[in-house]
Amino acid sequence: MPDLATFDFTSLLPFIAVGFAAQVVDGALGMAFGVISNTMLLWIGVPPAAASAGVHTVETFTTAVSGISHALHRNVDWKLFLRLMIPGVIGGICGAYLLSNIDASVAKPFILAYLTGIGLYLLYRAARFPPKPKQPKIVEPLGLIGGFLDAAGGGGWGPVVTSNLLVQGAEPRTTIGTVNTAEFFLTLTISITFITQLGWKAFTIATVGLLIGGLIAAPFGAMLAKRVPARRLLLLVGVILTATSLFGLYRALS
C-alpha cells in the first residue's frame, strides 16, 4: 500500500488521473467520485475504514471547489440544500463511527442491488423524456440515509441522493449542483469523525494523488452540468449508476 514515507512523484500519476476522471464525472453527474476512488483503494489493499477515510478527506477539498463552482453557475437550489445537508451530516457521523468500529460490509450487496434498480429506472425515464417536473417530497430521510451509507460504504451520497431525487421528478441540473454542494459539509464531518477514530494513518500517497487530480478537475463538472441537456444528464446518471453498482455487486458477491 503506498504511503508518504516512500514518496515518488511517478507513483502519484495513476492516482492523479483517477482523481481527475472521477471528479469530472462527479461534478457533472452528482455522483461517482467516492465509488470510483474507494473501489480503486480497496483494489490496492487499503482497509475499508482507511479507504473511506482517505476518500472523504480528499472530497472535503474537491467538493468545496465543486460547490463554489456550482453556486457561481447557479446550479444550486438553496432550500433543497438545507433540507439535504443537515440530515446528511447526522447520517454521516453515524456511518463513520459505525465503519470505524464494526464491519458494515454485510449490507453492501443489498444496497448495490437497490442502486442497480434505480439506475435502470433512470435509463427508462431518460428514454421517455421529457418527464413532468415535480418537487421532490422525500428529502430529509434521503439525506440521512445517503449520509450514513456514504460514510459506512466509502461512497454513496451521490448515487443514493441524486438518483432518488431524479426519480421523484426533480430537475437534473439543480439537483446535481445542490447535491454536490451539500456534499462538502457531509465529507468534512465524516473526515473529522474518521480522524478522531483512526488518526491520520489513512493519508497516503494514494490520497494525495486523488486530491491533486480532483482539485484540478473540480471546476469543470459544474460547467458540464450547466451545458449538457437534461435528457443526456439523466441518461448519463443512469449509465454510471447502473455500471458502478453492478460492478460493485459482482465484487461483493465474489
pTM, whole model, 2 decimals?
0.69
d(CA 41, CA 54): 9
Higher pLDDT, 131 or 224: 224
Higher pLDDT, 147 or 40: 147
Domain ranges in the chain?
9-253
pLDDT surpassing 90 at residue 252: no
In this prediction, residue 140 carries a pLDDT of 93
In this prediction, residue 79 carries a pLDDT of 93
Summarize pLDDT for 238-247 with one digit per residue, the tens. Answer: 787 788 778 8
Report the pLDDT averaged over residues 124-129.
72
In this prediction, residue 144 carries a pLDDT of 93
Residue 65: C-alpha distances to residues 38, 71, 74 (Å): 20, 10, 14
Report the pLDDT averaged over residues 187-214.
76
Mean of per-residue pLDDT scores for the chain? 77
The most confident of the ranges 10-14, 26-30, 109-113 is 10-14
Indicate the pLDDT class of residue 1, thresholds 50, 70 and 90: very low
d(CA 214, CA 232): 23
Summarize pLDDT for 143-185 with one digit per residue, the tens. Answer: 999 888 877 766 678 778 888 898 888 888 888 889 989 988 9
Q: Kindly tell me the sign of the dihedral angle through the C-alpha atoms of 162, 211, 193, 155.
A: positive
